Chain A
Amino acid sequence: MDCKDAQNLINGYVDGELDPVRNLEIEHHLQECALCSQGYKNHQVLQNGIKTGPFYFKAPVDLQRRIQLSLRKAVKAEAGHRVLPKWWLTIAAPMAAAAIVVLALVPFLRGPSADDLLAREVISSHVRSLMASHLADVASSDQHTVKPWFAGKLNFSPPVEDLARQGFPLVGGRLDYLQDRPVAALIYQRQKHFINLFIWPSGSDSDVGTKTVSRQGYNLFYWTKSGMTYWAASDLNNSELQEFVQLVQNQPSPKS
């Protein structure tokens, strides 16, 4: 091993990241070469200086409490979306009971209930995105900025189209989590209203027509097209959201 090799590997050596053979080689070299040995000592001095110096910032004492509070709030908000007003409950409870009976008796009728659960998840995500000042991970109205941003974060490439000319400007993109998997969330705007468009691979080739549901003042549209499942959520009125949905659906299909 010469000095050049030693200099290239010295960081791996001080960090204990070299394989045993290289380790021996560099130790040999350090014994023989005064210059590299001095360089190694400098490395040690620096690393010790960083490790033992007052450079580790401990969290302020009240930060843990603050985080625990906000976590509890998040849990409550989640529960709040599930527990609806009492009058609704009086209808919902028997309905849920009936649904459970139906589910137990006819296992293959799981479709609507799965949609139902997903609808709640989608609304929770939509509400959370507006609440936590975390609407977009990548804030851009440029589809050529937003689309590549997802590359490497997702194992699929969501179709991203700016619809500004049609009155629904793209605001940005976000990584979200639905049905135990990471999904793409695109955010569009219509005046003061935000639309979250969630996209993920459907796992099957068959298309499913558009369905809509309203819940807690939010309108939802969902469909499956060209192997992708889409959920659009917004507090926008039904007809305008439908207009948006049609615009999205009329975009050319993504290459799969």
Chain B
Amino acid sequence: MREKDRLARFEQTILPHLDAAYNLARWLTRNEHDAEDMVQEAYLRAFKFFNAFRGVDGRAWLLTIVRNTCYTWLQQNRAHEITTMFDEEIHSVDSDASNPATLALQSADQQILREALDELPVEFREVVVLRDLEGFSYKEIADIVNIPAGTVMSRLARARERLKQFLCNRPKEDA
């Protein structure tokens, strides 16, 4: 039963990355049910393409498929969320960096930070998730997202600048 062996090998190498797959899908779709469907479909596709997997990094390989699956879904269901209007090559972000306010996070800010992450455009949200939650290098992110490494850095810069602005402008009710 070659197919059964293949399945066993697949489950052994790819199934352990289920949390990473779900986390990415959940951040991309922003919805539990859709995320579950995306992950399930991505796993079926991954199994189908498993022969092409050369066994280097199963997590990065799986997340590439999860991401593509989610983007196909986003294009069909949330086309307005995919914006490519931002100038990706801008490296100097339009921040108020000459006079940075002091940023301090309290636990009450976690809800605000979550909202801020949720409101990032999806192309920016995904690089933050892949970098800060999954710990991928720029090179690995570049491969997963299929963009140059320089663009990874500029997207991260813009995403973080937005998050910081969001947090600095939050209503200060606790003071």
Q: Interface on A for B, CB 8 Å cutoff?
A: 3-4, 7-8, 10-12, 15, 17, 35, 38-39, 41-43, 45-51, 53-60, 63-64, 66-68, 70-72, 74-75, 78-79, 128, 132, 134, 137-139, 152, 177, 180, 182
Contact = CB atoms under 8 A, between A and B. Distances in A.
A60 B93 CA distance: 38
- Chain A contact residues: over half helix, strand or loop, or mixed? helix
13 contacts: A7-B97, A46-B167, A47-B132, A50-B113, A50-B128, A53-B110, A54-B110, A56-B19, A58-B22, A59-B21, A63-B40, A67-B43, A180-B51
A17 B97 CA distance: 21
Contacts of B99: 35
A68 B11 contact: yes
Nearest to A4: B92
A48 B104 CA distance: 11
Interface residues of B, number: 62
Interface of B: 3-4, 7, 10-11, 15, 18-19, 21-23, 26-27, 32, 35-36, 39-41, 43-45, 47-49, 51-52, 72, 75-76, 91-93, 95, 97-105, 109-110, 113-114, 117, 128, 131-133, 137-138, 146, 153, 156-157, 160, 163-164, 167
Contacts of B95: 7
Contact of A71 (B11, B26, B98, B138): B11
B132 A50 contact: yes
Contacts of A137: 72
B115 to A, nearest CB: 11
Contacts of B35: 57
A78 B48 CA distance: 11
Contact of A45 (B40, B92, B105): B105
Contacts of A12: 138, 153
B44 A70 contact: yes
A58 B93 CA distance: 33
Contacts of A60: 22, 32, 36
